[in-house]
A and B are shown apart, each in its own frame.
Chain A
Amino acid sequence: MSSPAESVVEVDELTVDFWERDHWVNVVNKVSFSIEPGETLGLVGESGCGKSTTAFSLFGYRRPGSRVRSGAIRFDGRDLLRLKERELRSIRGARICLVPQNPAGSLTPSMRVGTQLVETLKAHRASTWRKAEKRAVELFAQVGLPEPGEIAERYPYELSGGQQQRVVMAMALACSPSLLVLDEPTTALDVTTQARILKLLFRLQGEHGMSMLYVTHNLGVVAQICDRVAVMYAGELVEIAPTVELFENPRHPYTRGLIAAVPRISAPTGGDATLRGLLRREELPDGCRFAPRCAYAQTDCFTNPQSLAPVAKDHRVACWLWKSIPGARRVAAEEPAQATPVPR
């Protein structure tokens, strides 16, 4: 871990609740992590585990019907959760930018994409319309769009999904942000296009030297582009480690389950594995939130909350049993209770 002063952004004990009918439901619980300059941090977890909420919090943005109960997000010496809307506006879109999940829905349908990009540029950088237009075409070229001048004249519905994603990326890069948040940016795309976009991301990160937070449930993508990975379960971070370390030596039972569940052509003996079903928030125990689904859970697990503790260099796990659990490479083969093989 580098010293906090060097980090681009530092999330400290972030806790977010959602209002549901008549009570608050905890969605993100004491999540802490930091992102270093030029680093790509992957944030993985199943749907609804709070990873997108965490990502959106980096913009000081609260969805309607949610509240930040406690915590801080330090960026540039300021706490984003305590800034006024006006101050946030100067950071959003300029210093921290979002590449959203659904590019088709993220572009205003009734405006030419070039105009949308120009407006983004104008919002943060005072310059003439003419200059902004020129810059827009440059940006379109940078994200690998063919005939950028012609694309700029088009409406979103006249573009393919991959092209829309590139347009959205151009908008995110418009002001050379220091942090790019990617919320499952390739989920809506087919595998070929996904590969192209990832390649492009790599190149752009090299050119702009920015840090990235890559939110996804796709472990394959994480392995390709992330330097470090944070695994989230039911609103809590359960493990954080450098990518290679995490895949080679996963310590948390949940992480192991996730990795074992990735279908592999090269290792058919491992078999397709499944994790036991999802739980409702109300059913979560006071202790380790993963305990009801964990094959190793003991009585204490249900009552003692776990927090991240170091197990190796840069590797932290929220499981007090990590030492007594067998090594990672045998995960798939030796844990039928937790990773059930599916008959072929």
Chain B
Amino acid sequence: MSVAAGSGPVDAPLLPEPVTRPKGVLAFVRRQPLTFLVVSAILAIYVLVAVTGPWWAPYPPDELLTGDPFAPPSWDHLLGTDNFGRDVFSRLVHGERLVLGLALATAGLSVIVGSAVGLLSACLRGWPDELLGRVLEILISIPPLIIALLVLGSLGSSYLLTVSLVALFFAIRVATVIRAAALDVVVEDFVTLAKLRGEPIWSIAGREILPNVSSAVLVEFSLRTGYAVLFIGGLSFLGFGPAPPTPDWGLMINEGRTYISTAPWPVLGPALALAGLVVALSLFTERISEVLGLSVQRAPSQ
């Protein structure tokens, strides 16, 4: 009972020093394992090629008979030529923008939609959340490839349709992940306090919860980009992508497939490029999730 009504200034303890690690880009880079640096460099090259490729590619993508048909790799044709004598390397370089662009658009769209649904569900709690959770579980059990083939087959393929369809499938999966992450956050005291402070629900979702699940969102984006490359590549390979003579990698693999025993290079080029991109993205995702303290779901994409 010693504290009386005091009015003088209150002396507080000294500020604790914030924990610091060596700062700067160089110090950060030095801390990363070699794999991550190599993978990042590879991804940087992919992006660079996608952006600048069309300006320096040796041949236009659909110029016929740049050399003999089925010419093996040489200095003139780094990855050989295909059945029409088109330069495989040039087609790869030109097609990269498309492959990467579609994948990023799909991943971006799926993460935006999925995160919104997941956050909303977690914020609402109670029966709306239960209902939405069950609906997501039902949707997740639908095999995406079959539905995609059905829809694209009946409506005809277009970039917009492909991207929105694949994004929709991925969004369902993103939503479950983000919902789970957000459910851990909504029970925190600061969320209750925000409600008691009179914050509207969108503000709670956006300002209180989203920043605390941002690492999960980031990892999902990176993960979905890799999956999108594969999925859209697969659709193109099955003939549900862009029409010939578009230099799409999946389509190129499909076109070259007939001659694979005599001239493997028209298939090898795009196949290796696709594989390299997916593996690089996957390793990259793994490392960021490690840095952010999350684990990536290891299941296959479909």
The residues of A with any CB-CB pair to B shorter than 8 Å are: 56, 59, 61, 64, 88-94, 97-98, 100-102, 105-111, 119-120, 123-124, 144-147, 150-151, 154, 158-160, 162-163, 166, 168, 171, 195-196, 198-200, 202-203, 206, 220, 223-224
Contacts and interface: CB of A to CB of B under 8 A. Distances in A.
Contacts of A158: 16, 18
A123 B203 contact: yes
Chain B interface size band reads 20 to 34
Contact of A64 (B126, B196, B198, B214): B126
24 contacts: A64-B125, A64-B126, A90-B198, A93-B198, A94-B198, A100-B189, A106-B189, A107-B190, A108-B190, A108-B212, A110-B211, A110-B214, A119-B203, A159-B16, A163-B15, A166-B12, A195-B2, A196-B10, A198-B3, A199-B6, A199-B10, A200-B10, A202-B6, A223-B1
B200 interface: yes
Interface string B1-21: 111011101111101101000
B15 A146 contact: yes
A105 B188 contact: yes
Given A109-B212, A144-B9, A147-B15, A92 B197 contact: yes
From A93, A162, A171, name the one whose CB has the most chain B CB atoms within 10 angstroms: A93
A224 B2 CA distance: 8
A146 B12 contact: yes
B7 A206 contact: yes
B76 interface: no
Nearest to A122: B203
Contacts of B16: 158-160
Those 9 A-B pairs whose CB atoms lie nearest each other, nearest first: A93-B197, A92-B198, A144-B10, A93-B198, A105-B189, A89-B198, A110-B211, A199-B6, A202-B5
Nearest to B125: A64
A146 B14 CA distance: 8
Given A199-B10, A200-B10, 20 more contacts: A61-B196, A97-B197, A102-B189, A108-B207, A109-B190, A109-B212, A111-B211, A123-B197, A123-B198, A144-B12, A146-B12, A158-B16, A160-B13, A162-B13, A163-B15, A168-B193, A196-B12, A202-B5, A203-B7, A220-B1
A165 to B, nearest CB: 11
Contacts of B212: 108-110
Nearest to B203: A123
B290 interface: no
B208 interface: yes
A106 B13 CA distance: 21
B1 A111 contact: no
A90 B199 CA distance: 9
A110 B15 CA distance: 19
A108 B12 contact: no
B134 interface: no
A94 B15 CA distance: 30
A195 B6 CA distance: 11
Nearest to B215: A110
A95 to B, nearest CB: 9
Majority SS of interface residues in chain A?
A: helix
Interface in B239-267: none
A72 B28 CA distance: 58
A111 B198 contact: no
Contacts of A220: 1
A4 B192 CA distance: 30
B208 A108 contact: yes
Contacts of A195: 2-3
A61 B198 contact: no
Given A108-B207, A123-B198, A147-B15, A98 B193 contact: yes
Contacts of A206: 5, 7
Contacts of A160: 13, 16
Contacts of B10: 144, 196, 199-200
Interface in B177-205: 188-190, 192-200, 203
A88 B198 contact: yes
Nearest to B210: A110
A167 B12 CA distance: 13
A200 B208 CA distance: 28
A115 to B, nearest CB: 9
A279 to B, nearest CB: 28
Given A111-B207, A145-B12, A224 B3 contact: yes
B195 to A, nearest CB: 7
A229 B118 CA distance: 45
B150 to A, nearest CB: 40
Contacts of A154: 18
Contacts of A106: 189-190, 193
Contacts of B198: 88-94, 123-124
A98 B196 contact: yes
Nearest to A163: B12
Nearest to B13: A160
Contacts of A224: 1, 3
Contacts of B195: 61, 92
Contacts of A144: 9-10, 12
A199 B3 contact: yes
